[in-house]
Structure 1
Amino acid sequence: MTARFHNPVDTRFGWGSLQELAAITEHQNVAVVTFPEARDLGLVDRLQALLGERLVYVIEDVQPNPDVAQLRATYERFWQEAGDCHAVIAVGGGSAIDTAKALIVGTESGRFDELLALLASGKPFVPVRSKQLIAAPTTAGTGSEVTPWATIWDAANHKKYSLHLDCTWPKVAIIDPQLMLTVPASVTVSTGLDALSHALESIWNINANPLSDTFAISAIEDILECLPLLRRDLSSQELRSRMALAALKAGMAFSNTKTALAHSISYEMTLHYGLPHGIACSFTLPLVLGLAWGHDATRDKTLQRVFGPDLDKAQARLRAFLHSLDVKTEFADYGVTAEEAQVMIDFALQGARGKNFIGSRAA
């Protein structure tokens, strides 16, 4: 069977690589999407110095888990005030990059609700206009810089929308570990666990292949070793670089497989229990590892390259790793009863990401 791997993102990795923005955006007017603390950290001034007059618009009020309640006004203001810019540069975590992905998809009316209606239909569409996207993550975890997917939340109505079009693949990804030096311990852990989940989810996945496995295995091994060390030494350039590369590899892995059951469960945990995404998609990893084990000999072999042949020991290792980072691994720890958890798992298996899980065929 032929294995296929496709990723169209021009990816730049390395300490100080943000400098390449100037050359990448030559002769282009650009807008920047970033997070509220970016200005106090000197990041907005740095971008202004790199881009000069080409920087024509800045959005710096991105909130975690971009929600329609805020996105609507931001989107419509962007298309009214910066509709003639050539590219959008997202500098931040997954929320900044996801927000930028939503902004670059232009509707005929310029209204956000038109985009929501297209997403709600679940049918593929080609936007009437779009912008190029350049993504520079400031956290090691999202993977959004090398994938086309964005999640848009509607907390008021307990809904989420998944955006993925040809134009939402970033044109360029700049992974500069220097941007991650100021990330606090809690966010470093949460985003690092998101990356671990991406890598594992790409293995217990019906879309997995030997090429995605290569990225995933390397990412998992690096994260299991590196993340606890980085948590204790947040200013280490070497560890920040290793973690950034591991997260990039995890992103490359799931850019071809999509995520699976742990992420499907996470959406419910975030919507209904307010759990941060990185924790919501990682606390079930030992459980999902057990559900995945034994369904597919090839997938088992891949998992065993990381964890060895004993499932109990594999789950215990993963559980101990999460506990060492102060992440609790039982539904009950988050106020979910056993009955509610089972309902949530059954529901998650029916979701688009749940159906990617190798165990869903036997569910």
Structure 2
Amino acid sequence: MPAHFHNPVATYFGSGSLSQITALTAGQKVALVTFPEARGLGLIKQVEDLLGERLVYVFEDVQPNPDVNQLRSVYEHFWQHAEHCDVVFALGGGSAIDTAKALIVGTESGHFDELLALLAQGNPFTPAHCKTLIAAPTTAGTGSEVTPWATIWDSAQKKKYSLHLECTWPKAAIVDPDLMLTVPAGVTVSTGLDALSHALESIWNVNANPISDTFAVSAIEEVFLCLPALRKNLHSQELRSRMALAALKAGMAFSNTKTALAHSISYEMTLRHGLPHGIACSFSLPYVLGLAWGRDHERDRVLQRVFGPDLAKAQNHLQNFLQSLEVKTEFSDYGVSDTEAREMVEYALQGARGKNFIGARAA
């Protein structure tokens, strides 16, 4: 079958590329969506200097894993007070970009619950209004700047919703490694492992193609080389740039495949056990690698480009890598019994992302 790869996001990469926001928003009014520490880090001032009077609205209280209880008031305030803006500029990690994706999708009523009801139906829909999105990640891992998906959480109901519309593709991604120089070690590791998971998940995926494979293999090799070194030298501009590019490649890979079983497992681990996303989607990678190996000859060939021909050695390599970054790799390490783990994996295989896994049909 001929391969098809599509990504409509104009991508700007490299030190100083934040300045591209000026030309990208020429003649337009901009709303900024960012995280609480952004002001103290001087990031909001940088954007203010670049945009001047065009910056007409700032929301700077994005919380990790955007939850419906917070998003409801944020969304309605945005559509009441920033309806006149043309562009939403998301500056931050995955949570900031996911929050911005939720904000740009306008409902007839201007109420968030109308959007939530549409998402709960699980069917495609055409929004009443939509803003243009530009995304600049401040962590190397999310990939959200080059994908259309956003995850919205309902922790009270133990649910999550996936937002994915044509208009939630960012118009542009600005990947400036200078924005990542102050990221602490724990977040650097967690987000870097999210990128590793994105790349591996795009390989053991029913939607994989040779182009996504090319991005994925390159990303995996660079994460293996770069992330441990970066953890020990957080202020290295060279290492920050390499990790930013690796995360971008991983994002490009899964922008065409979506994620698979490890991410499907992660949603339950985050909802029920409070694991940060990057850890939740990466701790099970050695286990999922074992489930993937031998399912598809072509997928095995790609995995073996990274790990070599021996499954036991491959799993051991991946496990040792994670443990070297102080990430535990067993369900029991997180208080999950064997019975709960089996039930969780079975449930994850039935989810939308689980069904992308090459072993899902056999399971």
Partner SS for 2:320: helix
Task: Quote the residue 1:63 is aligned against.
Answer: 63
Please state how far the C-alpha of 1:276 moved relative to its aligned partner. 0.2
Map 1:179-194; keep pairs closer than 5 Å. 179-194=179-194
* Pairs aligned (count): 363
Aligned equivalents of 1:59, 1:80: Cα separation in 2? 13
> Runs of 4 or more off by more than 4 Å in structure 1?
none
Partner SS for 1:229: helix
Please state how far the C-alpha of 1:330 moved relative to its aligned partner. 0.2
Partner SS for 1:309: coil
Task: Quote the residue 1:161 is aligned against.
Answer: 161
Task: Quote the residue 2:299 is aligned against.
Answer: 299
Instruction: Give the letter aligned to residue 125 of structure 2.
Output: F
Aligned equivalents of 2:360, 2:75: Cα separation in 1? 37
Partner SS for 2:336: coil
Partner SS for 1:58: strand
Task: Quote the residue 2:140 is aligned against.
Answer: 140
Task: Quote the residue 1:7 is aligned against.
Answer: 7
Could you state the TM-score of these two structures normalised by the residue count of structure 1? Answer: 1.00
Please state how far the C-alpha of 1:29 moved relative to its aligned partner. 0.3
Please state how far the C-alpha of 1:200 moved relative to its aligned partner. 0.0
Map 1:1-363; keep pairs closer than 5 Å. 1-363=1-363
Instruction: Give the letter aligned to residue 199 of structure 1.
Output: A
Instruction: Give the letter aligned to residue 208 of structure 1.
Output: A
Aligned equivalents of 1:329, 1:123: Cα separation in 2? 35
Partner SS for 2:7: coil
Q: Percent identity?
A: 76
Aligned equivalents of 2:342, 2:17: Cα separation in 1? 45
Deviations 1:209-235 (CA, angstroms, capped at 9, x unpaired) = 100000000000000010000000000
Please state how far the C-alpha of 1:298 moved relative to its aligned partner. 0.1
Deviations 1:151-184 (CA, angstroms, capped at 9, x unpaired) = 0000000010000000000000000000000000
Instruction: Give the letter aligned to residue 280 of structure 1.
Output: A
Aligned equivalents of 1:209, 1:73: Cα separation in 2? 41
Aligned equivalents of 2:90, 2:306: Cα separation in 1? 34
Aligned equivalents of 1:118, 1:272: Cα separation in 2? 25
Instruction: Give the letter aligned to residue 230 of structure 1.
Output: L
Partner SS for 2:58: strand
Deviations 1:294-352 (CA, angstroms, capped at 9, x unpaired) = 00000000000000000000000000000000000000000001111000000000000
Please state how far the C-alpha of 1:79 moved relative to its aligned partner. 0.3
RMSD: 0.3
Aligned equivalents of 1:73, 1:13: Cα separation in 2? 34
Partner SS for 2:226: helix
Aligned equivalents of 2:123, 2:23: Cα separation in 1? 37
Q: Structure 1: any 5+ residue segments left out of the alignment? A: none
Aligned equivalents of 2:297, 2:361: Cα separation in 1? 15
Partner SS for 1:300: helix
Please state how far the C-alpha of 1:126 moved relative to its aligned partner. 0.6
Instruction: Give the letter aligned to residue 119 of structure 2.
Output: L
Aligned equivalents of 1:342, 1:131: Cα separation in 2? 42
Partner SS for 2:41: coil
Aligned equivalents of 2:316, 2:310: Cα separation in 1? 10
Instruction: Give the letter aligned to residue 196 of structure 1.
Output: L
Aligned equivalents of 1:38, 1:306: Cα separation in 2? 37
Please state how far the C-alpha of 1:246 moved relative to its aligned partner. 0.1
Instruction: Give the letter aligned to residue 206 of structure 1.
Output: V
Instruction: Give the letter aligned to residue 256 of structure 1.
Output: N
Aligned equivalents of 1:23, 1:16: Cα separation in 2? 14
Please state how far the C-alpha of 1:33 moved relative to its aligned partner. 0.1
Aligned equivalents of 1:48, 1:204: Cα separation in 2? 43
Deviations 1:177-215 (CA, angstroms, capped at 9, x unpaired) = 000000000000000000000000000000001000000
Partner SS for 2:352: coil
Please state how far the C-alpha of 1:6 moved relative to its aligned partner. 0.1
Instruction: Give the letter aligned to residue 264 of structure 2.
Output: S
Partner SS for 2:156: helix
